[in-house]
Amino acid sequence: MRFFEKSKRKEFEKLAKPYMKPLYQAALRMTRQREWAEDLVQDTLIRAYERMELFRAGTNFRAWLFTILTNNYLNDCERGRRRPLTTSFDVMGADGSIWEFPASEENDPVAVLMTHVLEEQLQNALDALADEFRLAVLLVDMEEMSYQEAADALNVPIGTIRSRVSRGRFQIRQYLGKQSEIEMR
Amino acid sequence: MEDRCKTVQENLAVWQEEELPLEIRQQCDEHIAQCSRCRHAAEVQREVSKALRRLRQLHSGITPPPSLWRNVSKELKRRESHKQRMVQWQAAFASILAACLIIGGVWAKLNHSSAFPAEQTLQNYRQWYNSQSEPVYESRDPAAAAKWLSDHLHASVLPIDLSLSQAKLNGADVVQVGGVKMGRLLYLSGTAHLAIYVSPAHTEFRSLNKVTADGNKMRETSDKNHFTLFAWAANGDGYAVVSNAYNECETAAVDAERQTNLP
Ligand SMILES: [Zn+2]
């Protein structure tokens, strides 16, 4: 990209800085661990800088960054370095006991937000999804990526993404339904 | 499940989105209006999606710690200067390499295997002159001497007859001059001792400073003992005539040069 040859770093910083916050929020949603999220964002921005030549001008820079973020996250999981705080929805216990909100540091603003009474269950339902459904739902419903962009980020056909998103939403609804049944008892 | 139900369920995720082709979207809309099961499924999709977007709104206040951008920026700077250093090193390395190539090229040209060692030839003559040793192959016949040299140099050496220049052949031997194997023909012309050095394939001279009557170029050089050397290249071989007497040397060189430059 000729545009970046003048001062590649400065141009990149100007372009990337506004995405710092959405990237961080997305990383938190993926990992639910602050330290891991910070590492993810840092790796993502550095990798993006190193690969700036691969970014095609005129395409969505935000989606490109999110694709790198998603890949970094999946790489971390694959290498077994870290584990997201999720379990497959299918193995959910009837009493919901294994869905305890993951312990966070006290006075953590993230934790405070996420433990918001009404949203907590939704958050738990989201976290209960298997990673393949969870990532599809996160990218489409929360990171505002198009189905095509999400398909590119996860390197699967667009039809797969559509089905994962709809199944993920169903499972969330199902989980919330069961929770309310438990509460009503 | 009804076929229509199937179509709707397959496209549930994108039912409300622009991405669905208008035709399929209309089909879904019509079916959902009639089928309560699909209506419910679509409702779930919309509700959950909406709830997730609300959750996202709640997260919008979360900001990364300022140290994060500082760290990123620091790392980017480090990488940039590292890259610049690499570029500088590469440039420096490239110039060193270029200099080496140039020096090497000049060196190779000077020491090229095809360079005729004129100075060392003069030196060799001086050594011979001091000892006046007899040639290994004694013969008065230029053709026989040429054949003998051809055998010993594994190259075709032309006979050089200097009888027109009043010089008589004494014989021939093979000498090492500046790392080059040469044939040496020794002649006598009065008090002048003449030596013709033949060096197959060593035809390059640093400079050719003399032009013969026929327009061929020669190198002339002499040392402080007044020994003179005339050297030239002809038909892929290098030749030099060296003598203690300038006039005889020049005459013999012109004579020999004509014989070696025969077409
Ligand atoms: Zn239906």
Size of interface A-B (CB pairs under 8 A): 107
Q: What is the CATH number of the domain that holds A70?
A: 1.10.1740.10
Indicate if B51 and B98 belong to the same structural domain.
Answer: yes
Indicate if B94 and B63 belong to the same structural domain.
Answer: yes
Indicate if A72 and A105 belong to the same structural domain.
Answer: no
Rounded to two decimals, the pTM is 0.57
Optimal mutation site among A17, A43, A110, A141, interface B, most CBs of chain B within 10 A = A141
Q: Among B195, B226, B176, which Cα is nearest to B132's?
A: B195
Q: What is the CATH number of the domain that holds B178?
A: 3.30.200.100
Query: How many domains does chain B contain in total?
Result: 2
Inside any domain, residue A92: no
Indicate if B128 and B239 belong to the same structural domain.
Answer: yes
Indicate if B256 and B134 belong to the same structural domain.
Answer: yes
Residue range of the domain that includes A121: 99-185
Rounded to the nearest angstrom, the distance between the alpha carbon of B8 and the centre of ligand 1 is: 7
Q: pLDDT tens, position by position, for chain B (263 residues)?
A: 567 787 777 777 777 666 678 888 888 888 888 988 888 888 888 888 888 988 888 888 899 999 999 999 999 999 988 888 888 888 899 999 999 898 888 877 666 678 889 899 999 999 999 888 899 999 999 999 999 999 999 988 989 999 888 899 999 999 999 888 999 999 998 889 999 999 988 888 888 888 888 888 899 998 888 899 999 998 888 999 999 999 999 989 988 998 888 76
Residue A181 pLDDT class (50, 70, 90 cuts): low
ipTM over 0.85? The verdict is no
Optimal mutation site among B24, B50, B54, B55, interface A, most CBs of chain A within 10 A = B55
Inside any domain, residue A179: yes
pLDDT score, position A123: 87
Residues with CB under 5 A from ligand 1 (ion): B 5, 35, 38
Selecting from B45, B62, B75 the residue whose C-beta is nearest the C-beta of A110 gives B62
Indicate if B66 and B196 belong to the same structural domain.
Answer: no
With CB atoms and an 8 Å threshold, state whether B68 touches A116. Answer: no
Residue A95 pLDDT class (50, 70, 90 cuts): very low
Residue range of the domain that includes B181: 118-260
Indicate if A117 and A177 belong to the same structural domain.
Answer: yes
> Which tens digits make up the pLDDT trace of A50-67?
998 888 877 889 999 999
Cα of B6 to nearest chain A Cα, Å = 12
Indicate if B67 and B132 belong to the same structural domain.
Answer: no
End residue of a domain, out of A50, A84, A118: A84
Sole residue written with tokens 């999709």: B45
Chain A CB contacts of B71 under 8 Å are 42
